[in-house]
Amino acid sequence: MRVGVFICHCGSNIAGTVDVARAAAELRKVPGVAFATNYMYTCSEPGQDEIKQAIKRENLDRIVVAACSPRMHELTFRRTIEKAGLNRYFLEMANIREHISWVGLDKEANTIKAIETIKMAVAKVMQNKPLYSSSFKINKRVLVIGGGVAGMQAALDCGDGGLEVVLVEKSPSVGGMMARLDKTFPTIDCSICILGPKMVDVAQHDKIKLYAYSEIEDIKGYVGNYEVKIRKKATYVDWTKCTGCGLCMEKCPSKNSYDYFNFGVAPTKAINIPFPQAIPKKAKIDPDFCRQFTKGKCGVCAKICPTGAINYEMQDEIVTEEVGAIVVASGYGLIDMDKFPEYGGGRYPDVITGIQYERLLNASGPTEGHIVRPSDHTEPKTVVFVSCAGSRDKSLGIPYCSNFCCMYIAKQAILTKDHIPDSQSYVFYMDIRSPGKGYDEFTRRAQEDYGAKYVRGRVSRIYPKGKKLVVVGADTLLGTQVEVEADLVVLATAVTAAPGAAQLAEKLHISYDTFGFYVESHPKLRPVETNTSGVFLAGAAQGPKDIPASVGQGSAAAAKVLALFSKDMLESDPAVAKVNENTCVGCLKCKLTCPFGAIQEKELRGGKIVASVIETVCAGCGVCTSTCPCGAIQLSHFTDNQLLAEVNAICQK
**Nearest of 279, 272, 180, 278 to residue 235 by alpha carbon:** 272
Do 257 and 374 belong together in one domain?
no
Domain membership of residue 517 (yes or no) is yes
In a domain, 620, yes or no: yes
Same domain, 614 and 491: no
Range(s) of the domain holding residue 622: 577-636
Of 352, 244, 263, 364, nearest to 306 (Cα)? 244
Whether 165 is in a domain gets the answer yes
Contact 65, 155 (CB under 8 A): no
Residues 291 and 325 in one domain: no
pLDDT 10s digits, 306-360: 999 999 999 999 999 999 999 999 999 999 999 999 999 889 999 999 999 999 9
The answer to whether residues 370 and 464 belong to one domain is yes
Cα gap 300→285, rounded to integer Å:
12
**In contact, 265 and 366? CB cutoff 8 Å:** yes
What pLDDT does residue 412 have? Answer: 98
Q: Is the peptide bond before 499 cis (omega within 30 degrees of 0)?
A: no
31 lies in the same domain as 109: yes
Residues 391-445 have pLDDT tens digits of 999 999 999 999 999 999 999 999 999 999 999 999 999 999 999 999 999 999 9
Question: Considering the domain boundaries, does residue 187 fall inside one?
Answer: no
Choose among 179, 167, 261: nearest CA to 215.
Answer: 167
Q: Which of 465, 480, 496 is the last residue in one of the domains? A: 496
Q: Rounded CA gap, 467 and 130, in Å?
A: 78
Same domain, 95 and 46: yes
Whether the CB-CB separation of 97 and 117 falls below 8 Å is answered with no
- 13 shares its domain with 121: yes
Q: Could you give the CA distance from residue 623 to residue 547 in angstroms, rounded to a whole number?
A: 40
Final residue belonging to a domain, choices 532, 564, 596: 564
Cβ(8)–Cβ(43) below 8 Å: yes
* CATH code: domain of residue 546: 3.50.50.60
pLDDT tens-digit readout, 218-274: 998 889 999 999 999 999 999 999 999 999 999 999 999 999 999 999 999 999 999
* Average pLDDT rounded to a whole number, residues 481-491: 96
pLDDT band at 525 (very low <50, low <70, confident <90, very high): confident
Q: What is the pLDDT of residue 653?
A: 63
Q: How confident is the model at residue 652 (pLDDT cuts 50, 70, 90)?
A: confident
Q: Exposure of 568 by Cβ count < 10 A (0-12 exposed, 13-18 middle, 19+ buried)?
A: exposed
Q: What are phi and psi of 349, to 5 degrees?
A: -65, -25
Mark whether 591 and 507 lie in a shared domain: no
Q: Is residue 379 part of a domain?
A: yes
d(CA 479, CA 496): 32
Contact, 577 vs 626, CB < 8 A?
no
Looking at the domain assignment, is residue 198 inside a domain?
yes
For residue range 122-174, what is the model confidence (pLDDT) as tens digits?
999 999 999 998 888 999 999 999 999 999 999 999 999 999 999 999 999 99
Residues 435 and 507 in one domain: no
8 A C-beta contact, residue 547 and residue 337: no
CATH number of the domain within which 309 lies: 3.30.70.20
Q: Please choose, from the candidates 284, 282, 266, 262, the residue with its C-alpha nearest in 3D space to the C-alpha of residue 181.
A: 262
CATH number for the domain harbouring residue 65: 3.40.50
Domain boundary among 257, 286, 315: 315
- Give the E-state strand segments of 451-598 in sequence order: 453-456, 459-465, 468-475, 480-486, 488-493, 495-497, 535-537, 569-571, 577-579
**Separation of alpha carbons 306 and 396, rounded Å:** 51
Mark whether 155 and 247 lie in a shared domain.
no
Contact 594, 623 (CB under 8 A): yes
Residues 284 and 344 in one domain: no
Tell me what percent of the residues of the chain surpass a pLDDT of 90: 92
In a domain, 570, yes or no: no
State the average pLDDT for the chain.
95
Length of the chain counted residue by residue: 653
pLDDT tens for each residue of 542-579: 999 999 999 999 999 999 999 999 998 998 889 999 99
Q: Residue 374: pLDDT above 70?
A: yes
Split into its structural domains, the chain has a count of 5
Instruction: Give the pLDDT confidence score for residue 511 in this predicted structure.
Output: 92
**Are residues 399 and 471 both part of a single domain?**
yes
Which tens digit of pLDDT belongs to each residue from 18-70? 999 999 999 999 999 999 999 999 999 999 999 999 999 999 999 999 999 99
Residue 186 resides in a domain: no
65-102: pLDDT as tens digits: 999 999 889 999 999 999 999 999 999 999 999 999 99
Confidence of residue 641 (pLDDT cuts 50, 70, 90): very high
